Amino acid sequence: GAGVSQTPSNKVTEKGKYVELRCDPISGHTALYWYRQSLGQGPEFLIYFQGTGAADDSGLPNDRFFAVRPEGSVSTLKIQRTERGDSAVYLCASSLSLAGGELFFGEGSRLTVL
Amino acid sequence: KQEVTQIPAALSVPEGENLVLNCSFTDSAIYNLQWFRQDPGKGLTSLLLIQSSQREQTSGRLNASLDKSSGRSTLYIAASQPGDSATYLCAVGGQAGTALIFGKGTTLSVSS
């Protein structure tokens, strides 16, 4: 596609529920990144993929968070048993490769956990 | 662990002024540095990417410089306009194949 697409743009859920956030990267971009941004803060790294495999998942805060990219294109970030502290904007970015390429971000998915 | 700091946190200037935003990082062994713009409620827009072997990059009224040895980068905006009002974020890449580490940003307000 023309840019990085993220859905949903807004998600409101109740504490304890399961949530999936989707990212569709720029066509041909092999590297895909997930970040989380809280109000007034810079984006915080969560995980990135090269192709289908997670190259670095050291930023995932705990085992409630999981991300997949089964076909090397679209990625889904999955959050189990959501907590109020998970409320943030989840940003996805892609680049042509991991080798120092320019990152292009989507508009983000705003998650609110009540 | 790499830490990125941006000063000032907020800046207000009248239209037409030239201004400089600062970014510092603790580990000088970086691969690249990227400047982004973020409008309220929006994603990040890439402005300039500087590879570690480069000293500066220019795009229109924007000029970004990189001094690896001192752990600093600056973003220079010439002849500022109200449309430049946004948060500007600096991000550093450690080595090829690692994720960018972001600062908290500088929120710029340009008044007409």
Other beta carbons within 10 angstroms of residue A23's beta carbon come to 27
Provide, as residue numbers in chain B, all residues whose Cβ is less than 8 Å from the Cβ of A55: 97
Confidence at residue B1, expressed as pLDDT on a 0 to 100 scale:
86
CA nearest neighbour of B80 among B21, B13, B22, B23? B13
CA nearest neighbour of B107 among B2, B4, B13? B13
CB A55 within 8 A of CB A98: yes
Three-class SS of residue A30?
A: coil
Phi-psi group of A108: left, alpha or beta (phi > 0 → left; psi -120 to 50 → alpha; rest → beta):
left
R_g of chain B computed on alpha carbons: 13
CA distance B3 to A98: 21
Other beta carbons within 10 angstroms of residue A113's beta carbon come to 19
Tell me: pLDDT of B82 over 60: yes
Provide, as residue numbers in chain B, all residues whose Cβ is less than 8 Å from the Cβ of A100: 31-32, 51, 93, 96
CA nearest neighbour of B35 among B8, B61, B74? B74
Confidence class for position B98, pLDDT limits 50, 70, 90:
confident
Query: Chain centroid to CA A13: how far?
Result: 17
Q: Cis link prior to A25 (omega < 30° from 0)?
A: no
Provide, as residue numbers in chain A, all residues whose Cβ is less than 8 Å from the Cβ of B43: 4, 91, 105-108
Tell me: pLDDT of B95 over 80: no
- Non-local (6+) Cβ contacts of B89 within 8 A are A42, A43, B6, B35, B36, B37, B38, B44, B102, B103, B105
Residues of chain A falling short of pLDDT 50: none
Tell whether A50 is within 8 A of chain B (Cβ): yes
* pLDDT tens per residue, range B35-54: 999 999 899 999 999 999 99
SS3 content of chain A, % helix, strand, coil (to 5): 5, 50, 50
Three-class SS of residue A94?
A: strand
Handedness of CA B23, A57, A85, A4 (dihedral sign): positive
Q: What percent of chain A has pLDDT over 90?
A: 86
- Average pLDDT, integer, range B11-30: 96
Query: How many beta-carbon pairs below 8 A join chains A and B?
Result: 58
Beta-carbon-side half-sphere exposure of residue A5 (alpha carbons within 13 Å): 8
